[in-house]
Chain A
Amino acid sequence: GEDVEQSLFLSVREGDSSVINCTYTDSSSTYLYWYKQEPGAGLQLLTYIFSNMDMKQDQRLTVLLNKKDKHLSLRIADTQTGDSAIYFCAERLNMRFGAGTRLTVKP
């Protein structure tokens, strides 16, 4: 069946880059999304990439897509304490989410 996998935790120092990885199984997904969830809050769409792209950059965010390996990553440059949150990747075809990666940014 369709599945989306992510590592559960990532800890970085303020100012470093963060890389959050995700793998998915359904190769026919049209869009792949990254959502951010702060404590007690809803899901905020951060960015997305269309399946015919391999990279998308949006300010401090870079999304890389390796369609052959069904691997998606989100890089946050110059990570700030305000970036501490849970990050979910999701594939649009069936709109399934990964378990979320909890990013902790240490000052």
Chain B
Amino acid sequence: EPEVTQTPSHQVTQMGQEVILRCVPISNHLYFYWYRQILGQKVEFLVSFYNNEISEKSEIFDDQFSVERPDGSNFTLKIRSTKLEDSAMYFCASTGGGARTGELFFGEGSRLTVL
């Protein structure tokens, strides 16, 4: 069964460092998403991406965040200068259906710990 894969599963970094979280969406999917879940809290939408550009972003997705689809398979989330409060589980998701109707498939998440 096709699945969304994320790497790394866990990354520990020092405050102020840059981090890149990688995702390989399901191959024929067109819409990609990043979500964040701070430990014990709700799953929060960060950004959606379609046709090589951001289609929607939340207020959390400020200038320190960026997304990219550098090739035909990877979808990355970059955090330029990490802060302690960026420590969270980051989930990537993709859908092949409509932007607002297709089932979202989630990866297992990348846990980011900022020290």
Contacts and interface: CB of A to CB of B under 8 A. Distances in A.
Interface of A: 30-31, 33, 35, 41-45, 48, 88, 90, 92-100
B41 A99 contact: yes
15 contacts: A30-B101, A31-B103, A35-B106, A41-B108, A42-B108, A43-B106, A48-B103, A92-B100, A92-B101, A94-B100, A95-B100, A97-B42, A98-B42, A100-B42, A100-B43
A89 to B, nearest CB: 11
A30 B103 CA distance: 11
Given A30-B100, A30-B101, A94 B108 contact: no
A95 B108 contact: no
Query: Which size bracket describes the interface of B in this complex?
Result: 10 to 19
A29 to B, nearest CB: 9
B47 to A, nearest CB: 11
